[in-house]
């Protein structure tokens, strides 16, 4: 049976177990291949993607460990002398291009890799990015009305003292969403002004939350007026009927690509390669467009409900042009300063 392992208890654990059980019941008696995959995809995304993978690869058992981006980075490095996984799946490019990670993965270019444009692939062929995410605010319209607060349109707006205690955002030390926000602000404003901005923003922050999705969920549930999160979580919560609006920062949305790679120490490389091939298949792309605002693989189209929630068809028009190499090279220094000056 497909196994799923998560870093913390989750209501979705039961759902995922059910998906695994149903898939297992439909499998032939023949011995299946097993791989272990490390990922930072959200748990509901994992469930949806693996359900599709099982349709195409019924004899492949995919064991998953899901950790937030920063925690997974630490885990992989801690296990560097004895990797426990076969594939890295849906993990931030900013982390993937760490030279220490590069030593742990090997070149593999899946069948039909040309479906992923060259700009979304490692020049040496060690990783390829299939999806991505972008920063957005989840703004609870009912809380704004109740408290007489204006609708924010930009990061700059969040410095307004009227939002004191009404803003939550992800902790960049553990959340890839949090780090892309901090990194994009520093890139857009320059480091000196960027740090001044973050210190000013801190005066209005009620909490720094470990997860990238939780700030949106907290705002959606009315705990706070504004949750700095990522666009797809805002869209999903709007679909679910929460009284939230998605606001894309006027300065340009920080963004991150999510990449896949083959672990050099894998003892199940043939099975791992089959899975990596699947990640750029038609069925995978259909799944990505249910959950991701950035899909790099050709084929498929943006769902109408994404547009209805406020996402432009031309995503590039609202994205900040991220320097991923700079984000990666300066990650440790930035996070150390953030933890020293702002973490609480």
The pLDDT tens digits of the residues spanning 241-298 come to 999 999 999 999 999 999 999 999 999 999 999 999 999 999 999 999 989 989 999 9
Contacts of 152 (CB under 8 A, 6+ apart): 137, 139, 158, 160, 163, 226, 247
For residue 75, what are its two tokens?
A: 């885990």
Contacts of 286 (CB under 8 A, 6+ apart): 52, 300
**Alpha-helical segments (H) within 118-267:** 141-147, 176-189, 191-202, 214-220, 231-239
Q: Which of 243, 247, 261, 284 is nearest to 56 (CA)?
A: 284
For residue 288, what are its two tokens?
A: 């990505």
Residue 318 and residue 330: Cα distance in Å, rounded?
A: 24
Residue 51 and residue 53: Cα distance in Å, rounded?
A: 5
**Alpha-helical segments (H) within 190-243:** 191-202, 214-220, 231-239
Beta bridge partners of 134: 255
Residue 282 and residue 301: Cα distance in Å, rounded?
A: 12
Which contiguous run of DSSP H or E holds residue 94? helix 93-96
DSSP secondary structure letter of residue 216: H
Residue 174 and residue 164: Cα distance in Å, rounded?
A: 24
Domains and CATH numbers, the chain: 4-132+256-306 (3.40.190.10), 134-254+311-341 (3.40.190.10)
CB of 213 closer than 8 Å to CB of 40: no
CB contact burial 2-16 (16+ within 10 A = b; e otherwise): bebeeeeeeebeeeb
Which contiguous run of DSSP H or E holds residue 336? helix 331-341
| Residue 101: φ, ψ to 5° | -70, -40
Residue 74 and residue 15: Cα distance in Å, rounded?
A: 28
Quote the pLDDT of residue 32. Answer: 67
DSSP secondary structure letter of residue 149: P
Residue 291 and residue 293: Cα distance in Å, rounded?
A: 7
Report the predicted TM-score, pTM, of the whole model to 2 decimal places.
0.75
Per-10-residue mean pLDDT of the chain, 344 residues long, equals 40 40 39 89 94 97 93 96 97 93 97 93 96 96 98 98 98 91 97 98 96 95 98 94 98 95 97 98 95 90 91 87 92 95 93
User: How many CB atoms neighbour CB 34 within 10 A?
Assistant: 14
């Amino acid at each position: 049976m497909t196994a799923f392992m998560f870093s913390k208890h989750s209501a979705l654990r039961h759902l995922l177990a059910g998906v695994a059980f149903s898939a297992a019941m439909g499998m032939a008696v023949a011995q299946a291949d097993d791989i272990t995959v490390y990922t930072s995809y959200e748990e509901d995304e994992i469930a949806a993607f693996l359900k599709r993978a099982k349709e195409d690869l019924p004899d492949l058992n995919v064991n998953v460990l899901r950790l937030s981006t920063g925690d997974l980075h630490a885990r992989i490095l801690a296990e560097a002398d004895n990797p426990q996984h076969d594939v890295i799946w849906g993990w931030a490019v900013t982390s993937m291009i760490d030279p220490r990670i590069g030593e742990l993965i090997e070149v593999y270019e899946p069948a039909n890799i040309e479906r992923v444009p060259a700009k979304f692939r490692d020049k040496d062929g060690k990783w390829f990015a299939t999806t991505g995410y972008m920063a957005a605010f989840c703004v609870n319209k009912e809380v704004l009305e109740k408290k007489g607060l204006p609708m924010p349109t930009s990061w700059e707006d969040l410095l307004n003292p009227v939002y004191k205690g009404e803003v939550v955002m992800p902790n960049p030390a553990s959340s890839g969403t949090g780090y892309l926000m901090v990194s994009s602000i520093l890139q857009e404003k320059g480091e000196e002004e960027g740090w001044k901005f973050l210190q000013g923003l801190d005066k209005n922050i009620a909490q720094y939350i470990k997860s990238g999705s939780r700030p949106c969920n907290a705002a959606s549930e009315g705990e706070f007026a504004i949750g700095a999160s990522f666009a797809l979580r805002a869209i999903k919560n709007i679909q679910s009927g929460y009284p939230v609006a998605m606001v894309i920062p006027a300065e340009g949305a920080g963004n991150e690509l999510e990449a896949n790679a083959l672990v050099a120490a894998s003892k199940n490389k043939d099975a791992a390669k089959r899975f990596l091939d699947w990640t750029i298949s038609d069925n995978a792309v259909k799944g990505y467009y249910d959950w991701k605002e950035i899909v790099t693989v050709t084929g498929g189209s943006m769902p109408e409900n994404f547009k209805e929630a406020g996402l432009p068809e031309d995503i590039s028009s609202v994205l900040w042009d991220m320097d991923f190499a700079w984000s990666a090279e300066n990650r440790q220094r930035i996070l150390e300063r953030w933890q020293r000056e702002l973490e609480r």
